[in-house]
Amino acid sequence: MSAFGERMSYLGEAVASAMSVAIHPRRFRFGDFALAFQRAACDGLPVCMGMGFLLGLILAFESAVSLRTFGLHSYVAALLAIGLFRELGPIITAIVLAGRSGSAFAAEIGAMKTDDELDALSTMGLAPVGFLVMPRVAAAALAMPVLTIFAELSGLVGGALVLAAMDVPPVVFWSNVVSASSAFIIALGLAKSVLFGAMVGLIGCIAGLRTRMSADGVGVSTTAAVVGGIVSVAVADGVIAVLCHVWNI
Amino acid sequence: MEHIVELEHVDAGYGGKTVLSDVSFSVERGEIFALLGGSGCGKSTLMKHMIGLNPVLAGRLTVAGEEWSAASRARLCRRIGVMYQSGALFGSMTCLGNVMLPLEEFSPLSRRERRAKAMELLASVGLEDAAGKMPAEISGGMKKRVAIARAMALDPDVVFLDEPGAGLDPLTSSALDELVLRLREERGMTFIMVTHELDSIFATADRCAVFDAARRSMVALGAPRWLADECEDEFTRMFLRRGGRA
């Protein structure tokens, strides 16, 4: 089977497993889900908040320096809010998730494969996709909105600090943020974050399942998980941006 | 005698490449049967066919009277147990959790009964004290014993052992052989083992199938002592005598 065919086969299995879990929720491995969620969300929170804070800080600084010439730097808050909620929050969080959790999923499942644990599951009559992939994909998909919200809030704090240094009072900053934001923009960003989380989790798990039985197998899978996750998220974000433009959203 | 596993003119291989041709033998209930041969002769490939991981290239292979297929897979998986070379225990679960896993997924027993059965299985391999330990905290020999307990969880018709003595010191390997003999005695279990460890074969196996990589086929079938002393095939006699027992 070609590499593409193999990936599509795993994707099909994952969809079938998701439907099976939806019909029989008791088959879902909540213990594995909780562990994967803790590692993706709780352990990843400081990195995402740090990245969000720095992103907000840098964006605000670069924008404010240019806009201050025209006396418009107080509007940086609006720019920051729209940018973070709609695009940058989900994207930067997905990149962090791909680096932390996507790679971890690939390495974990890849090591299990080289240790015959996947064969052990198969000979027990348990499908590795349903057993290993579903809890991790669900954890990544649900961790993403949590991480995204914290990354976005941290970004706003970073922006507020820069503007405060440029004599824009925090009250004005938050007022501009609130007036520029809408429930729809926030919901769109969070919906994208769920999609990106599922993609990063699935790509990481599939990379693990495709691990070659060689010395460099797990390393190659980990790289594929991170690169595949980031590229797929960027492509998906581009497609969503075009669709939003076409549908005038 | 009831045939638990039966192969008729089976071609074994993977990716369209034939490794062994025209293999035929059967394993009877309560037997300890060894697949024997040098490295790369195809015995592990053949075992992968027997445990349903890969389809046979040609011929007929039945386990408990059924051929592996999409329809029979779920049934047959509950009728076999497999101990992999490394043990293949799940690192995120305790030893007890590993043994309980097949029971949790497939057994109608209550949680308390499942736990009791898993503890009884661990006791049968002498590891009741290791129930709460993680696989990383126990030795290679203990991992294999836990893996045997897990393989027996659903009371299978046959347990496959992949290189049971590999990576173990002689004393631990010998203790594992004794465990296999005891489990056969106490539970009437059937074992099929892939190995090239002659000491283990002479100590445990009722019959062996010998494979030769050069001829890509099964070259002899019989009791280990007979194969070493009287088999007409020279390769088989040489192979078994180099174990120092014949």
Q: Give the CATH number for residue B203.
A: 3.40.50.300
Domain contains B85: no
CB distance B90–A117 less than 8 Å?
A: yes
Write out the H or E segment, with its range, that includes residue B117. Answer: helix B111-124
Whether residues B71 and B160 fall in one domain: yes
List, for residues B28-78, the tens digit of each pLDDT value: 999 999 999 988 899 999 999 999 999 999 999 999 999 999 889 989 999
Output the average pLDDT for chain B: 91
Q: Does B212 lie in the same domain as B170? A: yes
Residue-wise pLDDT for B90-144, tens only, equals 988 999 999 999 999 888 899 999 999 999 999 999 999 999 999 999 999 999 9
Q: Which of A39, A108, A117, A124 to mutate to test the interface with B (most CBs of B within 10 A)?
A: A124
For Cα atoms A174, A176, A181, give the angle at the middle one, nearest 5 degrees.
95
Determine the Cα–Cα distance for residues B105 and A125; give it in Å rounded to an integer.
9
Question: Are B86 and A115 an interchain contact pair (Cβ–Cβ within 8 Å)?
Answer: yes
Of B52, B91, B105, the CB nearest to A126: B105
**pLDDT by residue for chain A (249 residues), tens digit each?**
678 888 888 888 888 888 888 888 888 888 899 999 999 999 999 999 999 999 999 999 999 988 888 888 878 999 999 999 999 999 999 999 999 999 999 999 999 999 999 999 999 999 899 899 999 999 999 999 999 999 999 999 999 999 999 888 999 999 999 999 999 999 999 999 999 999 999 999 999 999 998 889 999 999 999 999 999 999 999 999 999 999 887
Within this chain, do residues B167 and B124 fall inside the same structural domain, yes or no?
A: no
Q: Is A8 domain-assigned?
A: no
**H helix intervals, chain A:** 3-23, 30-37, 45-68, 76-83, 89-97, 103-114, 117-123, 128, 134-165, 170-180, 183-209, 217-246
Q: Are residues B66 and B40 in the same domain?
A: yes
Three-state SS annotation for A3-32: HHHHHHHHHHHHHHHHHHHHHCHHHCCHHH
- Spatial distance between the Cα atoms of B160 and A237, rounded to a whole number of angstroms: 49
| ipTM score for this prediction | 0.88
Say whether B105 and A117 touch across the interface (CB within 8 A): no
Chain B residues with CB-CB distance to A120 below 8 A: 82, 84, 88, 90
Shared domain check, B72 and B8: yes
Structural domain boundaries enclosing B228: 3-79+156-241
In terms of domains, do B75 and B160 share one? yes
Tokens linked to B103? 């029971």
Q: How many domains does chain A have?
A: 1
- Which of A32, A112, A123 lies nearest to residue B82, judging by beta carbons? A123
Among residues B121, B136, B155, which one ends one of the domains? B155
CA B67 to CA A211: how far, in whole Å?
29
Beta strands in B29-163 (DSSP E): 32-37, 58-63, 66-67, 80-83, 158-162
Do B153 and A124 touch, CB atoms closer than 8 A?
no
Contacts of A124 in chain B (CB under 8 A): 77, 101-102, 105
By three-state DSSP, how is residue B220 classified?
strand
Contact A219, A117 (CB under 8 A): no
Distance CA B216, CA B227 (A): 19
User: Which of B106, B123, B155 is at the close of a domain?
Assistant: B155
Residue B60 lies in a domain: yes
- How many A/B residue pairs have CB atoms within 8 Å? 41
List, in sequence order, every residue forming a beta bridge with B5; answer none if it has no partner: B27, B63
Same domain, B163 and B132: no
Asked if the C-beta of A213 comes within 8 angstroms of chain B's C-beta atoms, the answer is no
Domains of chain B: total = 2
Residues B29 and B114 placed together within one structural domain of the fold: no
